[in-house]
Structure 1
Amino acid sequence: MSLTLQLLPKGKPIKNLPLDIAVPKEGVASEIYHQIATKSRYPVYQLRITKGSDGSVVPNDKNVSIAHTGLLEGSKVYVKDLGPQIGWRLCFVIEYLGPILIHPLFYFARPYIYSKPPQDPSWPISPADSEFPAPSTLQTLSCVMIVLHFLKREFETIFIHRFSNATMPLRNILKNWPHYWILSGVFMAYFTYSPYSPAAVERYPVLTTIGLGMFVVGELLNLYTHVVLMNLRAPGTTERRIPQGFSFNWVTCPNYMWETLAWIGIAMIQRNFATLVFVVVGVGQMWIWAKQKEGKYRRDFGDKYKKKRSVMLPGLL
């Protein structure tokens, strides 16, 4: 038996949108999307369908039955064109590629980007030396750490992260790319590899050792938490469970906590204002995301979820 649904556009008109469709009563929610996409000739991920009765979203999910959505014979549904889309994985791959390319570019092109420092004994170049000063150990270490960090992010994006939605609006990449290509890319790189940078002079070896240790620990534990989160959701499903265990009992989002630890380690080695700005902006954004995640856990799991005192940094955020 079939179920007839009345279709109404929401927002801008959708060309070729039929007035109604018939779907099997025993079918799954994703069939509604595929029928509308086929008849309207729109990409399926560019559509969002909501119930006319309460405005709730009908999930594009093959594991949710049409009966479970609460749709009945003659129900009205609204169809919204979300605009051009881009895959979540592709979006992140493009964003993280920025620092991977920009930092080595600044590192190797230093003589073409910066002016030669003054002939001053306090700089790591002797007054008699006519060559542009070579990068310091700290600058080399900084470049390696930044590239490894974002290569790890690329690896996680491709092989570890599982996304609830296949796509996001294309405009999101225009909104997010300056954070990676400009702030953590050009801005940070320019002040890190300059011969005038604090990292150009070998000082405070203990601080360097501590920073490197924080970076390694933070990156490894961040990777671990991402693997735990990956295993909460079976491949091809949107089912979610409550994350538990090491560090998840301390804060809502320990992946952000370990990410912060790693970036503090990087900042301790680079020792410049630009890196500090990026860390502050990044921590602020992660804190907002962590608060949103805490709220979502409480809404979705109710009493099953144990409320955390801190969402990201124990006793602080």
Structure 2
Amino acid sequence: MKVIVSSASRSPLLKNFPLTLDLAPSATVADVKAAIAAKAPKLSASRQKISVVGDKKPLADDSPISVTGTELAVKDLGPQVSWKTVFLVEYAGPLIIHPLVFHLPRLFYGNDVKHSNLQIFVYAFVVLHFLKRELETLFVHRFSHATMPLGNIFKNSAHYHLFSGLALAYDVYRPKYGANSPYVHGTVRDSPEFLWVGAAVWLFAELSNLHTHLTLRNLRAPGSRERKIPRGYGFTWVSVPNYFFETIAWLVICFMTNSIAAWVFTVIAVGQMGLWAVKKHQAYRKEFGTSYPRGRKAMIPFVF
């Protein structure tokens, strides 16, 4: 079967296009990508977006060419980086920044800070949260796409490094929240009961978030592309309970400190998670149709 592949972007790697590929009748889009990479080694399969000529919608790797047609276009997506690498870099930022600000206050504030129990609790919450994320990236998450454009690592990392990293750390470890500050000393923020109740709610949210990730991982066997409806704890109410539980965890920090940096980060994060949740919810309903539970909301139980 002859397949003609033309260029859909201005890239020096596509200067010899169009190409004519000789493929088996059972060939898929993945076979097209492999054949292109064989002829243009620098254009790896992960850099390629294959579509039908005149249609920008990308074709899935398992789409058979006998159905998609033999006139295709390839777009160079540019240098790629693995999703796992992106996640590891994103979460490493706060894990480096928070200890620096917490343990070296003179470097950031010009004087030492006697840390309050509130600051110690928040420090533990943040470090454990991002350490959990790093471990989930290494041992729990399976990524439906192997790579993303290299430039995205800078955009994605900025959100975590600047907002949940530098801004949050600088705000909550400053003298205002210190042990001798009237904002904390002698107030509810200095109460062990208040701190431990906050810690209990935070731990519930983090463990529930982890449980959700493990449920999603167990939906598919390694190497399988079969998709199933997620069910069980959390999924009774919403399509993406991991976002719901993460929201609770960050709200605990917001209410315990009333830090403007914590609120700004949480509002931005929840807004973005809400967009992703709606998209995922709609995708589930489209894919599974009437089989998908009708009573589920996208992210917040009984709300949306």
Normalised by the length of structure 2, the TM-score is: 0.90
Give distance in 1, aligned partners of 2:110 and 2:176: 10
Alpha-carbon distance change, 277 to 54 in structure 1, aligned in 2, over 3 angstroms = closer
Give distance in 1, aligned partners of 2:38 and 2:249: 47
Helix, strand or coil for the counterpart of 1:215?
A: helix
Helix, strand or coil for the counterpart of 1:80?
A: strand
Q: Is the 8 A contact 1:198 1:270 kept in 2?
A: no
How many residues of Structure 1 are paired with residues of Structure 2 in the alignment? 294
Give distance in 2, aligned partners of 1:177 and 1:54: 32
Identical amino acids, percent of aligned pairs? 39
Give distance in 1, aligned partners of 2:156 and 2:55: 32
- The amino acid of 2:114's aligned partner reads A
Q: CA deviation at 1:209?
A: 2.1
Of 213, 222, 226, the residue aligned with 2:213 is 226
- After TM superposition, list the pairs within 5 Å mapping 1:1-317 onto structure 2: 3-13=1-11, 14-17=14-17, 19-41=19-41, 42-52=43-53, 56-60=57-61, 64=62, 66=64, 70-72=67-69, 75-116=70-111, 132-197=112-177, 201-202=184-185, 203-204=187-188, 205=191, 206-308=193-295, 310-317=297-304
Normalised by the length of structure 1, the TM-score is: 0.86
Structure 1 unmatched ranges of 5 or more: 117-131
Q: Is the 8 A contact 1:97 1:150 kept in 2?
A: yes
Structure 2 unmatched ranges of 5 or more: none
Q: CA deviation at 1:266?
A: 2.2
Give distance in 1, aligned partners of 2:195 and 2:235: 29
Helix, strand or coil for the counterpart of 1:232?
A: coil
Helix, strand or coil for the counterpart of 1:95?
A: helix
Q: Which moved more, 1:23-32 or 1:77-86?
A: 23-32
Q: CA deviation at 1:53?
A: 7.3
Give distance in 1, aligned partners of 2:110 and 2:289: 60
Could you say which structure has the larger radius of gyration? 1
Q: Is the 8 A contact 1:226 1:255 kept in 2?
A: yes
- The amino acid of 1:47's aligned partner reads Q
Give distance in 2, aligned partners of 1:211 and 1:163: 33
Give distance in 2, aligned partners of 1:88 and 1:180: 15
Give distance in 1, aligned partners of 2:165 and 2:9: 37
- The amino acid of 1:35's aligned partner reads A
Give distance in 2, aligned partners of 1:253 and 1:217: 17
Q: CA deviation at 1:242?
A: 1.0
Alpha-carbon distance change, 55 to 101 in structure 1, aligned in 2, over 3 angstroms = closer
Give distance in 1, aligned partners of 2:302 and 2:178: 32
Q: Is the 8 A contact 1:4 1:20 kept in 2?
A: yes
Q: CA deviation at 1:33?
A: 0.8
Helix, strand or coil for the counterpart of 2:176?
A: coil
In angstroms, what is the RMSD of aligned CA positions?
2.0
Give distance in 2, aligned partners of 1:147 and 1:243: 29
